[in-house]
Amino acid sequence: MTLEVVILAAGQGSRMRSKRPKVLHEVAGKSMLRHVIDVAEKMGADKTHIVIGHGASVVKDSVKQIDVLWALQAEQKGTGHAVAQALPAISDKAQVLILYGDVPLISPETIRKLHSDKADDALTLLTVNLDDPTGYGRIIRDDGKKVVAIVEQKDATPEQLIVKEVNTGIMSASAKNLKRWLPQLQANNAQGEYYLTDIVAMAVAENMNINVCHASHPMEVQGANTRQQLQLLERYYQQQAADMLMTNGATLADAGRIDIRGTLQTGEDVFIDINCVFEGDVVLGDGVSIGPNCHIINATIAANCEVKSNSVIEGTVVAEGCSIGPFARLRPGTVLANGVKIGNFVETKKANIGEDSKVSHLSYIGDAEIGRDVNVGAGTITCNYDGVNKFKTEIADNAFVGSNTALVAPVSVGKNATIGAGSTITGNIAEGELAIARAKQRNISTWKRPVKIPRD
Ligand code: UD1
Ligand code: CA
């Protein structure tokens, strides 16, 4: 049997008070809709259908790289009506899983429970028990505890309102049954909507057994209708992610002060201090230590590196045993070999820096190829840009660049060469040479400093 997923994403989400469609609001740096699409993919869905309405074109544009099918629900007439829009494109042989574009943290494990051991055309509901079930559809069971219906809050009797078991909205049904049931839905209820949930009573009328699975945690099936709820989802997600890191052998100074917006892979004995943000794909090798307030984006940092406080590292590959920061900024295209030291207020971009070389203070190294054991003095600037073109600076092994040097690219500095402090280097320097390019010092012995005349 094939699996087709329908993601409901047509609602407006007016309580977000946003120009952005609700499902495009982000949790952990990724739109809620994208989270749900990723789950469908992990489930091995043969097809994913997304029902769109409000902000349809913006929603569509946000996921255009993915192979999904779109169903337009021009008017939002209820969840049953929404699923019906996707139905014509669904194969009669499919089992259909219904997910919500604004319920981003549903786990593949829970959905697998929804499908395991169930008959091919089973109707299975995902429910959860809530202390406060207000607003949700209640799961109504008969004396034998069999599910007989779902009743919406606005249609429920006082006795039904007491029920704490609620419909998460997520369910699984065969396409065959949906194609039979959905055309029969009536909008004769308090909201005048075509309720998907009414298929439960239809199935019961046909003597079908309704299966029920429980969500492992209420947050897994929590939707985001408001920015407050969005923030709660974010915190829950981050807490889970932090917990996973610790399970994998990382020490966190405070599990409540780390944010992971992407994937963070850590080796053993990694230490992460407070207020660090990781984005995209980040890998930290064994024994890496990250100081407070670091922002690390799409980077690989090998074993035993130390990143000191307030450093920003993006698109960078760092080999073992490097020391970075505090206040370093490594920009895309930076590659550091083993044992490199990048000190405070150093910016690098498209820079290859060889083993054990040091750029310790206040420098800009861009479009540069630096060998091993090079010492780049404080305040060194690679002048790589003439306003139109970028040029390369090459510094060979064991060169010594004096402080406050400007290297006007294209330029190359030979092996073992030395540059005197304060030089503006515009021409190549051969192996072992000393280059000094600065005005000669003059001392004026007859100089008299102006004297202040006291006023009486
Ligand atoms: C629905 C369920 C309710 C359940 C609750 C869980 C029905 C009738 N009720 O409630 O039992 O407890 O979800 O959150 O199904 N949507 C569309 N098109 C529409 C209507 C809704 O795409 O015409 C989408 C919304 O964007 C949203 C989802 O479906 O993602 C649920 O809609 P919402 O109005 O939030 O749910 P309720 O009807 O309140
Ligand atoms: Ca509604």
Residue 188 CB coordination number (10 Å) = 8
CA of 128, nearest ligand number: 1
- Round to whole Å and give the CA distance between 162 and 159: 6
Record the tokens describing residue 288, joined without a space.
Answer: 């890496």
Q: Verify that 204 and 253 share a domain, yes or no.
A: no
User: What are 14-71's pLDDT values in tens digits?
Assistant: 999 999 999 999 999 999 999 999 999 999 999 999 999 999 999 999 997 678 999 9
Query: Which atom of ligand 1 is nearest the CA belonging to 225?
Result: 35
CA 327, CA 308: separation in Å to the nearest integer?
Answer: 8
Q: Is 4 in the pocket of ligand 1 (CB under 6 A)?
A: no
Ligand 2: distance of its center to the CA of 193 in Å?
8
Whether 211 is covered by a domain: the verdict is yes
pLDDT in tens, 409-450: 999 999 999 999 999 999 999 999 999 999 999 999 999 999
Ligand nearest to the CA of 189: 1
66 DSSP 8-state letter: S
Q: Based on the fold, state whether residues 217 and 253 are members of the same structural domain.
A: no
Q: CB of 76 closer than 6 A to ligand 1? A: yes
Residue found by looking up tokens 């078991």 in the block: 165
Give yes or no for residue 7 having a pLDDT over 70: yes
The closest alpha carbon to 171, from 12, 6, 47, 46, belongs to 6
Provide mean pLDDT across the span 198-208. 96
Same domain, yes or no: 265 and 302:
yes
Element (H, E) at 141: strand 138-141
Question: Is 325 near ligand 1, meaning CB less than 6 Å away?
Answer: no
Residue 12: per-residue pLDDT: 86
Of 276, 273, 365, 360, nearest to 316 by C-alpha is 365
269/212 same-domain check: no
Residue 105 confidence (pLDDT)? 98
- Asked if residue 203 and residue 294 are part of one domain, the reply reads no
**Is 452 part of any domain?**
no
Residue 259 placed within a domain: yes
Report which of 258, 267, 260 is spatially closest to residue 304, judged by C-alpha positions. 267
Residues of the domain holding 189: 3-221
Q: Identify residue 359 by its one-letter amino acid code.
A: V
Cβ atoms within 10 A of the Cβ of 218, count?
A: 14
Instruction: Determine the distance separating the centroid of ligand 1 and the alpha carbon of 76, expressed in angstroms.
Output: 10
Q: What is the model's pLDDT at position 65?
A: 67
78 in contact with ligand 1, CB cutoff 6 A:
yes
Q: Which CATH number goes with the domain that contains 386?
A: 2.160.10.10
Q: Please, are residues 200 and 178 in contact by the beta-carbon 8 Å criterion?
A: no
Question: What pLDDT shows up at residue 325?
Answer: 98
Q: Is the CB of 136 under 6 A from ligand 1?
A: yes
How is residue 265 written in tokens?
Answer: 């892979």
CA distance 367 to 101: 44
Question: How confident is the model over 131-179, as pLDDT tens digits?
Answer: 999 999 999 999 999 999 999 999 999 999 999 999 999 999 999 999 9
Q: Residue 117 — very low, low, confident or very high, per pLDDT cuts 50/70/90? A: confident
Helix crossing, 32-42 with 108-115: angle to 10°?
50
Is there a single domain that holds both residue 167 and residue 217?
Answer: yes
Question: Which atom of ligand 1 is least distant from the CA of 137?
Answer: 11
- Cβ–ligand 1 contact at 221 (below 6 Å): no
Q: Measure the CA–CA gap between 240 and 245, rounded to whole angstroms.
A: 9
In a domain, 118, yes or no: yes
pLDDT at 67: 85
**Atom 1 of ligand 1: nearest residue by CA position:** 169
Instruction: Check: CB of residue 342 under 8 Å from CB of residue 324.
Output: yes
Could you tell me if 362 and 428 lie in one domain?
yes
73 lines ligand 1 (CB under 6 A): yes
Contacts (Cβ under 8 Å, ≥6 apart) of 411: 391, 393, 394, 425, 426, 427, 428
Residue 66 is predicted with a pLDDT of 73
Closest CA to 268 of 290, 253, 246: 246
How far does the centroid of ligand 2 lie from the alpha carbon of residue 371, in Å?
64
Q: Is the pLDDT of residue 1 over 90?
A: no
Within a domain: residue 357? Answer: yes
Q: Residue 416, Cβ neighbours under 10 Å: how many?
A: 15
Q: Which atom of ligand 1 is nearest to the CA of 167?
A: 12
d(CA 32, CA 43): 17
Looking at the CA of 80, which ligand is closest?
A: 1
Q: Give me ligand 1 centre to Cα 225, in Å.
A: 11
Give the domain CATH number at 87: 3.90.550.10
For the residues 357-379, what does the mean pLDDT come to?
Answer: 98
Q: Where are the alpha helices (DSSP H) in 93-174?
A: 108-115, 158-161
What pLDDT is recorded for position 118? 78
Q: Would you call 164 helix, strand, or coil by DSSP?
A: coil
By percentage, how much of the chain surpasses pLDDT 90? Answer: 96
Smallest CA separation from ligand 1 atom 22, residue: 10
Taking the C-alpha atoms of residue 389 and residue 292, their distance in angstroms, rounded to an integer, is 37
Mean pLDDT of the chain: 96
Please check whether residues 198 and 254 belong to one and the same domain: no
Regarding the beta carbon of 304 and ligand 1, being less than 6 Å apart is answered no
Specify the higher pLDDT residue, 122 or 70: 70
CA angle at residue 170 from 163 to 192, to 5 degrees? 70
DSSP state string for 217-285: SGGGG---SSHHHHHHHHHHHHHHHHHHHHHTTEEES-TTSEEEEEEEEE-TTEEE-SSEEEEEEEEE-
- Rounded to two decimals, the pTM is 0.94
Distance, CA of 113 to CA of 131 (rounded, Å) = 23
Is 25 among the catalytic positions?
A: no
Pair 273, 187 in one domain: no
Whether 6 shows a pLDDT value over 90: the answer reads yes
Does 29 share its domain with 80? yes
How many domains, in total, are found in the chain? 2
Taking the centre of ligand 1 as the mean of its atom positions, its distance from the CA of residue 46, in whole angstroms, is 24
| Residue to probe by mutation, ligand 1, list 79, 105, 181, most atoms within 8 Å of CB | 79
Residue 425 resides in a domain: yes
Ligand 1 closest atom vs CA 195: 8
Closest ligand to residue 79's CA: 1
262-313 confidence digits (pLDDT tens): 999 999 999 999 999 999 999 999 999 999 999 999 999 999 999 999 999 9
Residue 350 covered by a domain: yes
Q: Does residue 389 share a domain with residue 288?
A: yes
Query: Which pair of structure tokens corresponds to residue 381?
Result: 């600037």
Cβ of 128 less than 6 Å from ligand 1: no
Examine residue 130 and state whether it is found in any structural domain, yes or no.
yes
Note whether 179 and 260 are same-domain residues.
no
